Amino acid sequence: MIEVVANVDDHVDYKDIASIIKEKDDGFVRENPEMDFEFNEFEMVGFDKSALNRIKKSIKKYNNMMIIDFGFLFGEIKRKFELYKPHHEMYIEELDLTQIINSFPHLILDDSFESVHFVDNDFDKWRVIIIKDKNKDIIVDGYHMTRMFERYDNCELIESDTFEKDYMGWLFNLIKSFYLDEHYFGLEKMVIVADDAKSDSLLREIIPGYNRSEIPDIYLLRNTNLLTNMYSCAGMKYAAIDQVIALIMKLEPEEFWRLESEAYDI
């Protein structure tokens, strides 16, 4: 078994997953070219697997899955809320998290909207997994952002004291399970809400190539191309985080563009 070791030495640059794989086995040959990456030949180690067991037990109830980097999504919500509030009356506790799902297919930047279709796109039919650094809270206007999804049974918060290690392990194994574990075979699509160099490096190595050229299994919710850290994933279908946050804030398109103009003095 080839292992992609998650708990590498602190002085090793872990951004390039491919280099770690090559160091372990230069003779590796992919057996399934359609998948591009032979998941069964690799394993992430050194992370907390108990959270994955909880998710696996209930995953058959859902049609799709969304994985959220808490720091990215709610950090962007905080930034936009504080940017817009001087120009628009709004209350943080009134934000509608369900819009992250309900609006998503319509916002995917794609030449052919006909190809973007999710089965049963109701919010409660999605398994929403929020991954959070236990040592980093986000508070907006006195409101702890973890409270935003506590009311939803389909949302699960996973916290970690060793976020960098656990996040990569969880993301790798959830994608692996999506493709290989029969418990996950009822899922049609996956959306990953993230925008960082390590996620980019991991996805570059393991996401099947057809996700860039055909109707994909996996979509991204990230920054626009001018702002993103997901350079290697540029070919994957995505929706822009700004527009989704505007809908979470219950802003009409005209209001969104007005606030952008006023906030940035355009």
| DSSP codes joined into one string, 133-165 | ETT---EETTEEGGGGGTT-TTEEEEEESSHHH
Cβ–Cβ < 8 Å for 98, 66:
no
Residue 100's closest CA among 259, 248, 262, 254? 248
Give 118's pLDDT tier (boundaries 50, 70, 90).
low
Lowest mean pLDDT, pick from 39-48, 111-120, 229-238: 111-120
Q: Are 220 and 108 in contact (CB under 8 A)?
A: no
* Helix-strand-coil split of the chain, %, nearest 5: 45, 15, 40
Query: Quick one: average pLDDT of 122-142?
Result: 95
pLDDT at 224 over 50: yes
Q: For 207-214, what is the mean pLDDT?
A: 84
SS3 17: helix
% the chain with pLDDT above 70:
82
pLDDT the model gives residue 34: 61
Cβ contact 20:4 at 8 Å: yes
* One-letter amino acid of 120: D
Q: For the residues 187-200, what does the mean pLDDT come to?
A: 95
Residue at token pair 């392990």:
169
Tell me the per-residue pLDDT of 133-169, one tens digit each, with 9 for 90 and over: 999 999 999 999 999 998 899 999 999 999 988 999 9
The helix/strand/coil state of 155 is strand
Percent of the chain exceeding pLDDT 90 equals 59
What predicted TM-score, i.e. pTM, was given to this entire model?
0.84
Residues 6+ apart with CB under 8 A from 153: 124
* Average pLDDT score, the chain: 83
**Residue 39: its pLDDT value, please?**
77
Q: pLDDT, tens digit, for every residue of 28-82? A: 332 343 666 777 777 778 888 888 999 999 999 999 999 999 999 999 999 999 9
Q: How far apart are CA 39 and CA 60, in angstroms?
A: 21
Can you list the pairs that 25-33 forms with residues at least 24 positions away whose Cβ atoms lie under 8 Å? Answer: 28/2
